[in-house]
Amino acid sequence: MKAPSPKVLILHPDLNLLGGIESYYRKMDAYFTIDPGHLVIGKRPGEAGRMVMVQRLLGDYWQFFRRLKRDQYDLVLLNPSLSRKAIIREGFFLRLARLRGKKTVVFFRGWEQDFAAELAGRRRWLFDRLFKDADAFIVLAEAFRRTLREWGCSQPIHREVTVAEDQLMDRLDFPGTLEARLNDSVWRIIFPSRILKSKGVYELVDAYALVKAQHPNLELLILGDGEEMSALQNYAARQRIDGIRFTGHVDGEVKHRLFRSAHLLCFPTRHEEGMPNTLVEAMAFGLPVVTRLAGGIGDFFREGEHGFATDATDPQVFAGLIEKLYLDRELYRRIAINNFEYASTHFRASQAA
């Protein structure tokens, strides 16, 4: 007789917020082979003020404890970043789960290297006290797995990828889309991410301006919102850089249409990435990629096969790589096909579920 499936409770932020964790679970929900429970934790839309934050955090702990007692879950899946802000907050959820005798899996979604260095040294006790007895870990980069092993974690450590929706790739007429791109009189660079300094948005705009000066038919699509939106718009206006379209947050078919019309992803991020959704989505549309090596990108990314990756932050470096793809249409075609095929094979939500 087949054993019953375990009851799983997933802790995650409000799925109406923008971010990698939220996007991941929106895509995955249709493909789970079990029916997990969900508990929203963390900042809510419109939340402001320290007292509101403290009250909400205490309420999150209370609701979590009640759900464990009431619904008899077997396993709790946590989704923290390895960061100063998250480690203690999420660690208490793990401690409450262990207090109730539940198995725990920790899926590290982001990884702050400076903080990881602290945990490797004088603050190791903090990680050991809060997370060392988790039943398993999930990480988004092989380097993160090696670090956990170096910290003495002997439990299973699984490496995962972020995902794209199956139907996105299944419904895309990729051959037709690719030919339309190659015949388009306008060449569009896309940046679909939060507008933060750490995402390299100023380097992006400067690189675009350098290439635009030589090739006037370029456009830049910046999809998303973020704390740097107004400042970036003002910067582009002061520098008199034209051809930039700020769409704000877009989703669904509007976002898909913009991806289909784009030619290349430029992602000069300095952010403490896990495995960027931005890159996975771009490859699912068959877009060549120009990026910095961050998080789990280096585990699969092949130079010249998926695009170009660099450790540089100089806009001139990014401009040169963009121009290389713009000028060499056969190279562009080959990389576009590689990326669509790779994403179709490796980045499906149904496979990750």
Complete domains list, the chain, with CATH: 8-159 (3.40.50.11930), 167-352 (3.40.50.2000)
pLDDT at 353 over 60: no
Average pLDDT on 303-312 reads: 95
pLDDT given at position 1: 46
* Nearest CA among 246, 212, 163 for reference residue 318: 212
Dihedral in degrees, nearest 10, Cα atoms 305, 306, 312, 317: 80
Beta strands 157-159; 136-139: pairing state: parallel
Average pLDDT on 203-220 reads: 98
Q: Where are any strands of DSSP class E within the chain?
A: 8-12, 37-40, 75-78, 103-107, 136-139, 157-159, 187-192, 218-223, 244-248, 264-267, 289-292, 307-310
Q: Which of 8-17, 126-135, 276-285, 327-336 has the lowest mean pLDDT?
A: 8-17
Angle at the Cα of 304 (from 217 to 141), degrees rounded to 5? 110
* Nearest CA among 102, 16, 35 for reference residue 67: 102
pLDDT given at position 5: 78
Other Cβ atoms closer than 10 A to 184? 13
Task: Label residue 29 by pLDDT band (50, 70, 90).
Answer: confident
pLDDT given at position 326: 97
**Can you say whether residue 239 is alpha, beta or left, with left for phi > 0 and alpha for psi between -120 and 50 degrees?**
alpha
Radius of gyration of the chain (CA): 21
Q: How far apart are CA 159 and CA 129, in angstroms?
A: 23
Dihedral in degrees, nearest 10, Cα atoms 249, 252, 255, 257: -150
pLDDT given at position 2: 54
Average pLDDT on 71-94 reads: 93
Task: Label residue 295 by pLDDT band (50, 70, 90).
Answer: confident
Task: Label residue 296 by pLDDT band (50, 70, 90).
Answer: confident
Q: How far apart are CA 268 and CA 297, in angstroms?
A: 12
Burial 82-104 (b: 16+ CB within 10 A, else e): bbeebbeebbebbebbeeeebbb
pLDDT at 267 over 60: yes
Q: How far apart are CA 39 and CA 34, in angstroms?
A: 16
Contact 251, 262 (CB under 8 A): no
Q: What does the mean pLDDT of the chain come to? A: 91
pLDDT at 304 over 50: yes
* Nearest CA among 183, 175, 177 for reference residue 329: 183
Q: Which of 33-47, 66-80, 121-135, 256-270 has the lowest mean pLDDT?
A: 33-47
Q: How far apart are CA 115 and CA 112, in angstroms?
A: 5
Q: Give the residue with greater pLDDT, 296 vs 58.
A: 58
Average pLDDT on 62-89 reads: 93
* Nearest CA among 9, 62, 15 for reference residue 39: 9
Q: How many residues does the chain have?
A: 353
Q: Give the residue with greater pLDDT, 195 vs 26.
A: 195
pLDDT given at position 56: 93
Q: Which of 2-11, 67-76, 152-161 has the lowest mean pLDDT?
A: 2-11
Q: How far apart are CA 280 and CA 1, in angstroms?
A: 40
pLDDT at 3 over 70: no
Task: Label residue 38 by pLDDT band (50, 70, 90).
Answer: very high
Both tokens of 170, joined, read 């299944």
DSSP string, 265-307: EEE---S--SS-HHHHHHHHTT--EEEE--GGGGGT--BTTTE
**Most confident residue range from 42-46, 47-51, 94-98:** 94-98
**pLDDT tens, residue by residue, 337-350:** 999 999 999 888 77
Other Cβ atoms closer than 10 A to 129? 12
Element housing 126 (H / E): helix 124-131
Contact 270, 295 (CB under 8 A): no
